[in-house]
Chains A and B, each alone.
Chain A
Amino acid sequence: MFSDLVQRLARASGKALVTGLTRTGLLAVTALVMTSAQAAWQDPLNTPAIKTEKAHQALLLDVVRADRRLVAVGAHGNIVYSDDNGLSWTQAQVPVSVTLTAVYFASGEQGWAVGHDGVILHTSDGGKTWSKQFDGYRANDAMVAAAERKKQKAEDALAAAEESADEVAIEDAEYALEAATFGLDDAQYDQSTGSTKPFLDVWFYDARRGYAVGAYGMFFGTTDGGQSWDVASENVPNPDRLHINSIAAVGSHTLVLIGEMGLLIRSDDLGKSWTRMEAPYDGSLFGLVSEGDDELLFGLRGHVYRSSDSGISWAELQTGSEQTLLAGVFDSRHALLVGNGGSVVVFDGQLENPHSTIIEGRKAYAAVTRAADDTFVIVGEAGVMRLNATGELIHQSISMAAGDF
Chain B
Amino acid sequence: MSEQKHHFSTEPEHHLLSTETEPLLERVLFNNRGIVLVVLALLTALFAFGLTKVKLDSSIEKYIPLNHEFIQNFLVHKDDMKSGVANVKVAVEARNGDIFTKEYMETLSKINDEVFYVKGVDRSGMQSLWTPNTRWTEVTEEGFQGGPVIPSTYDGSAESLEQVRQNVLKSGQVGRLVSNDFRSSIIDVPLVEKDPETGEKLNYQQFSHALEEKVRAKYGNDQYRIYITGTPKKLGDLMDGAREIAVFFLMAMLATAVLLYLYSRCPKGTAVPIIASLIAVIWQLGALALLGYTVDLYSVLVPFLVFAIGISHGVQIINGIAIEAGRGANKVQAARRAFRGLYVPGMLALLSDAMGFLTLLFIDIGVIQELAIAASIGVAMIIVTNLVLLPIVMSYIGISNAGVNHAKKVEKSEPKLWKALSFFANPKVAPIPVIIAIVMAGFGYKISQDLKIGDLDKGAPELRADSRYNLDNDFMVSNYSTSSDVLVVMVETAKEQCNSYKVMDAVERFMWHMDNVPGVQSTVSLVTVSKLVTKAMNEGNLNWSALSRNQTILNTSIQRAPNSLLNPDCSMAPVIVYLNDHKAETLETAVAAVEAFKADYDDQVDEKYYGYSIADIDDAIAAGEIDSVPVRFQLASGNAGIEAATNQVIADAQDTMLIFVYVVVFVLCFLTFRSFTAVACILLPLALTSILSQALMTYLGIGVKVATLPVIALGVGIGVDYGIYIYSRLEVMIIAGKSLQEAFLETLKSTGKAVSFTGVTLAIGVATWIWSDIKFQADMGILLTFMFLWNMLGALILLPALANYLLRPEKIRARHQKRHGDIPPAG
Q: 1/0 per position for B158-174, CB-CB distance to A under 8 A? A: 00000000000100001
Closest to A14 in B: B655
What's the minimum C-beta distance from B677 to chain A, rounded to whole angstroms? Answer: 12
CB <8 Å contact, B603 and A39: yes
Interface footprint category on A: 35 or more
Bound CA–CA A34/B505 (angstroms): 22
Chain B CB within 8 A of A1 CB: yes
| Residues of A193-228 whose CB lies within 8 A of B | 193-196, 198, 200
Q: A12-B658, A47-B509, A59-B542 are in contact. List 15 more A-B contacts (CB 8 A).
A: A2-B684, A9-B658, A37-B603, A38-B603, A39-B628, A40-B602, A59-B545, A76-B509, A116-B546, A198-B544, A243-B538, A301-B140, A340-B542, A362-B169, A381-B545
CB <8 Å contact, A4 and B543: no
CB <8 Å contact, B437 and A12: no
A-B contact pairs, 23 of them (CB 8 A): A1-B684, A2-B684, A4-B687, A5-B687, A8-B691, A11-B655, A13-B655, A16-B652, A37-B604, A38-B603, A39-B603, A39-B621, A41-B603, A50-B512, A52-B512, A98-B546, A101-B543, A195-B551, A196-B549, A283-B140, A286-B541, A301-B139, A324-B541
What's the minimum C-beta distance from A211 to chain B, rounded to whole angstroms? Answer: 17
| Residues of B612-663 whose CB lies within 8 A of A | 621, 627-629, 631, 652, 655-656, 658-659, 662
| A300 and B601 in contact, given A1-B441, A41-B629 (Cβ under 8 angstroms) | no
What's the minimum C-beta distance from B445 to chain A, rounded to whole angstroms? Answer: 5
Of B141, B441, B548, B688, the most chain A CB neighbours within 10 A belong to B141
Bound CA–CA A5/B796 (angstroms): 21
Chain A CB within 8 A of B240 CB: no
B-side contacts of A34, CB under 8 Å:
604
What's the minimum C-beta distance from B348 to chain A, rounded to whole angstroms? Answer: 21
What's the minimum C-beta distance from B198 to chain A, rounded to whole angstroms? Answer: 45
Chain A CB within 8 A of B513 CB: yes
CB <8 Å contact, B542 and A364: yes
Give chain A's interface residues, CB within 8 Å of chain B.
1-2, 4-5, 8-9, 11-13, 15-16, 19, 33-34, 37-41, 44, 47, 50-54, 58-59, 61, 75-76, 97-99, 101-102, 116-117, 136, 193-196, 198, 200, 243, 245, 260, 282-284, 286, 300-301, 324, 326, 340-341, 362, 364-366, 380-381
Give chain B's interface residues, CB within 8 Å of chain A.
139-141, 169, 174, 437-438, 441-442, 445, 502, 505-506, 509, 512-513, 515-516, 538-546, 548-551, 600-604, 621, 627-629, 631, 652, 655-656, 658-659, 662, 680, 683-684, 687-688, 691
B-side contacts of A282, CB under 8 Å:
141
A-side contacts of B546, CB under 8 Å:
75, 98-99, 116, 198
CB <8 Å contact, A54 and B516: yes
Bound CA–CA A195/B604 (angstroms): 26
B-side contacts of A365, CB under 8 Å:
542
Bound CA–CA A19/B652 (angstroms): 8
Bound CA–CA A53/B604 (angstroms): 32
Bound CA–CA A58/B601 (angstroms): 23
Bound CA–CA A361/B360 (angstroms): 51
Closest to B172 in A: A362
What's the minimum C-beta distance from B695 to chain A, rounded to whole angstroms? Answer: 12
Bound CA–CA A51/B516 (angstroms): 9
What's the minimum C-beta distance from B658 to chain A, rounded to whole angstroms? Answer: 6
Partner of B656, one of A16, A59, A61: A16
A-side contacts of B445, CB under 8 Å:
4
Closest to A214 in B: B543
CB <8 Å contact, B602 and A193: no
B-side contacts of A116, CB under 8 Å:
546
Closest to B441 in A: A1
What's the minimum C-beta distance from B790 to chain A, rounded to whole angstroms? Answer: 14
| A8 and B658 in contact, given A98-B546, A300-B141 (Cβ under 8 angstroms) | yes
Q: Which 10 A-B pairs have the closest CB atoms?
A: A37-B604, A12-B655, A39-B628, A99-B546, A283-B141, A366-B542, A195-B550, A5-B687, A1-B441, A101-B543
Bound CA–CA A99/B545 (angstroms): 8
B-side contacts of A61, CB under 8 Å:
542-543
| A40 and B631 in contact, given A194-B549, A198-B546 (Cβ under 8 angstroms) | yes
What's the minimum C-beta distance from B730 to chain A, rounded to whole angstroms? Answer: 20
What's the minimum C-beta distance from B805 to chain A, rounded to whole angstroms? Answer: 11
CB <8 Å contact, B139 and A300: yes
A-side contacts of B543, CB under 8 Å:
61, 101-102, 198, 200, 245, 366
Bound CA–CA A76/B505 (angstroms): 11
What's the minimum C-beta distance from B721 to chain A, rounded to whole angstroms? Answer: 19
Bound CA–CA A12/B653 (angstroms): 10
Of B505, B513, B545, B662, the most chain A CB neighbours within 10 A belong to B545
CB <8 Å contact, B141 and A53: no
What's the minimum C-beta distance from A241 to chain B, rounded to whole angstroms? Answer: 14
What's the minimum C-beta distance from B135 to chain A, rounded to whole angstroms? Answer: 17
Bound CA–CA A303/B548 (angstroms): 28
Closest to B535 in A: A364
CB <8 Å contact, B545 and A41: no
| A362 and B174 in contact, given A195-B550, A260-B539 (Cβ under 8 angstroms) | yes
A-side contacts of B680, CB under 8 Å:
2
Bound CA–CA A278/B627 (angstroms): 54
What's the minimum C-beta distance from B514 to chain A, rounded to whole angstroms? Answer: 11
Bound CA–CA A347/B515 (angstroms): 37
Bound CA–CA A325/B544 (angstroms): 15
B-side contacts of A99, CB under 8 Å:
545-546
B-side contacts of A75, CB under 8 Å:
512, 545-546
CB <8 Å contact, B515 and A54: yes
B-side contacts of A9, CB under 8 Å:
658-659, 662
Of A9, A58, A136, A282, the most chain B CB neighbours within 10 A belong to A9
Closest to A327 in B: B542
CB <8 Å contact, A326 and B627: no
Bound CA–CA A75/B602 (angstroms): 23
A-side contacts of B549, CB under 8 Å:
117, 136, 193-196
Bound CA–CA A19/B684 (angstroms): 28
CB <8 Å contact, B539 and A40: no
What's the minimum C-beta distance from B469 to chain A, rounded to whole angstroms? Answer: 30
Bound CA–CA A15/B654 (angstroms): 11
B-side contacts of A38, CB under 8 Å:
603, 627-628
B-side contacts of A2, CB under 8 Å:
680, 684, 687
Partner of A380, one of B441, B542, B629, B631: B542
What's the minimum C-beta distance from A343 to chain B, rounded to whole angstroms? Answer: 11
Bound CA–CA A268/B604 (angstroms): 57
Bound CA–CA A47/B600 (angstroms): 13
CB <8 Å contact, A44 and B505: yes
Bound CA–CA A2/B512 (angstroms): 50
CB <8 Å contact, A41 and B628: yes
Bound CA–CA A50/B597 (angstroms): 12
Bound CA–CA A349/B597 (angstroms): 51
What's the minimum C-beta distance from A92 to chain B, rounded to whole angstroms? Answer: 16
CB <8 Å contact, A1 and B688: yes
| A50 and B687 in contact, given A97-B509, A300-B539 (Cβ under 8 angstroms) | no
Partner of B540, one of A13, A33, A97, A340: A340
What's the minimum C-beta distance from A382 to chain B, rounded to whole angstroms? Answer: 11
Bound CA–CA A365/B603 (angstroms): 38
CB <8 Å contact, A193 and B545: no
Closest to B599 in A: A33
